[in-house]
Amino acid sequence: MSLHFELTTPERIVLKEEYDAATVPTQEGEITVLPGHLPLVANLVPGMITLRKGREESYLAVSGGFVEVQPGSKIIILADTAERAEELDLEKVEAARERAEKVLAEKRSNDDVSAASAIAALERELARARVARKHFGKNRHLPSG
Amino acid sequence: MAESPRTIRRRIKSVTNTRKITKAMELVSASKMRRAVASVLATRPYAEAAWRAVSEIAKVTDPTLHPLLSAKGDTKRVLLIIFTSDRSLCGGYNAQILRTVAEYLRNQGNEVDIIAIGKKGQATLARSKRNIVAAFEGLANNARVTDIRTVADMSVGDFTAGKYDSVQIAFTDYRSALIQKPVIRQLLPIMRIGELGSVDEAREGKPPRSGGQDLETTPGGATEYLFEPSPRAVLDQMLPRLVEAQIYQALLESAASEHSARMMAMRSASDAASDMIDDLTLTYNQARQAGITREIAEISSGKAALE
């Protein structure tokens, strides 16, 4: 029995495929969803989604949203933004992360709203950086994949 | 036929150039329209899934307790978000939506504040001395959700703070390349599921879902959902996203309508230019012929005078 995985953002459907297991970062901590999981709705936090199919793993970066596990081994993720690891460019992501850190350092002293959005931006970039590193790192060590 | 063949020829040339431009604009608008329509369709799964989750939540908590869902007794202050285009040359597109809005404002006894998206609407409403609280430009092309987040945050924030009793959204619904219909819908308090995705039902000819009890009716029956951390916390996160998705969809609908209105306007301009060129060519040939006849007459009469 496999897990039907769907990831949508307001702009597009990012991914729609069958997997064996999905690990998603929720507000209460990371959870792994296997086929037959109880119906669940949870808030998503910025982080990395790990999808496993057989022995192969693939990664996605998300920046908040929701995860809905439906009866019948369906998992639907509504993400604010989402990128597949292949779409990420490690250098660009690192640069964006540094920029976000700088912005945060400036904004921290100012008002709450801009600091909050700076934190959100930083969290998103951190998640992207982690996914990108994992993806490209994996390719380096295991060229056969 | 007072015009000389030379000036007619010049006019033919200028009309031909105009036709080239309108033709190009028509093609550009057609491709932009296709892209906008595709993005409208791409937003639907997100909104649908979010609504499904909200209706699941509705089973375990009373969603009407949430500030974004609860209607207030009487509405006094209204916020109206209006989508128009930044550029003109799009037929009756802006006039249509602004006429609908003007009518709405006439019938509305309440105070209405306006968020204007698009230069054209902004200019017109400013001229009629409406209270514009915010204005945005340059959103229509390849808009992303983050572009309208400010609008969404503003409307949700002001609504929750009690500054407005209701938020309405005026945009142009894209029915087909030929038909675009200006509509005004309620954004906040959130009314019912039928509001979202009704565009495509209209396009497919199905009747739109009726409102009212939609929050209670869910397909699938009685499966118990777990909510983490709590139903309320999920709802708190979900509803602003839904508002965002709805505004985003309105923006894309408007963009699709704008482009198709422009496409049609440019097509009829190209057709008119073609007609005009035909007319002018005929006139030109007549004038040329008249000129030749006159010259022959002059020559022969000149010769006759010599003899």
- B72 is an active site residue: no
Considering only CB atoms, B45 lies closest to which of A13, A43, A80, namely A13
Cα–chain-centroid distance for residue B143? Answer: 13
Chain A residues with CB-CB distance to B57 below 8 A: 41
- Say how far apart CA B228 and CA A42 lie, in whole Å: 5
Whether A19 and A2 have beta carbons less than 8 Å apart is answered as yes
Residue B306 has a CB neighbour count (10 Å cut-off) of 6
CATH number of B255's domain: 3.40.1380.10
Predicted confidence at residue A142, as pLDDT, reads: 45
Q: Mean pLDDT, chain A, as a whole number?
A: 82
**Distances in whole angstroms, Cα of residue B213 to Cα of each of B110, B144, B200:** 28, 32, 21
Whether B63 and B215 have beta carbons less than 8 Å apart is answered as yes
Give strand ranges (E) for B24-88: 77-83
Quick one: closest CA in A to B38, which residue? A12
Look at chain B and report how many structural domains it folds into: 1
B287 domain-assigned: no
B160 domain-assigned: yes
Predicted confidence at residue A143, as pLDDT, reads: 44
B286 domain-assigned: no
- Say how far apart CA B61 and CA A44 lie, in whole Å: 21
- Whole-model pTM over 0.80: no
B182 domain-assigned: yes
Q: Where are the domains of chain A?
A: 3-84, 89-139
User: Among residues B37, B80, B90, B245, which one is catalytic?
Assistant: B90
The ranges of chain A with pLDDT < 70 are: 107-113, 137-145
Q: In CATH terms, is domain A3-84 a member of 3.40.50.10710?
A: no
Quick one: closest CA in B to A13, which residue? B42
The pair of three-digit structure tokens given for residue B207, joined into one six-digit string:
């009747």
**Distances in whole angstroms, Cα of residue B257 to Cα of each of A66, B16, B111, B254, B267:** 31, 28, 29, 5, 15
Predicted confidence at residue A111, as pLDDT, reads: 66
Q: DSSP secondary structure string, B81-140?
A: EEE--SS--STTHHHHHHHHHHHHHHH--SEEEEEEESHHHHHHHHHTT-EEEEEE-S-S
CB-based contacts of B257, cutoff 8 Å, min separation 6: B93, B172, B173, B174, B180
Residues 137-166 of B with CB under 8 A from A: 144-145
Is the N-terminal amide bond of B189 cis, ω within 30° of 0?
yes
- How does residue B215 score in pLDDT terms, banded at 50, 70 and 90? very low
Mean per-residue pLDDT, B237-247: 85
ipTM over 0.85: no
B280 domain-assigned: no
**Tokens 């100012």 belong to residue:** A110
Quick one: closest CA in A to B149, which residue? A80
Its domain, for residue B145, covers 28-262
Chain B residues with CB-CB distance to A68 below 8 A: 49, 52-53
B246 domain-assigned: yes
- Residues B78-102: tens digit of each pLDDT: 899 999 998 888 888 999 999 999 9
Q: Do A71 and B220 touch (CB under 8 A)?
A: yes
B150: distance to nearest CA of chain A, Å? 12
Residue B210 has pLDDT above 70, yes or no: no
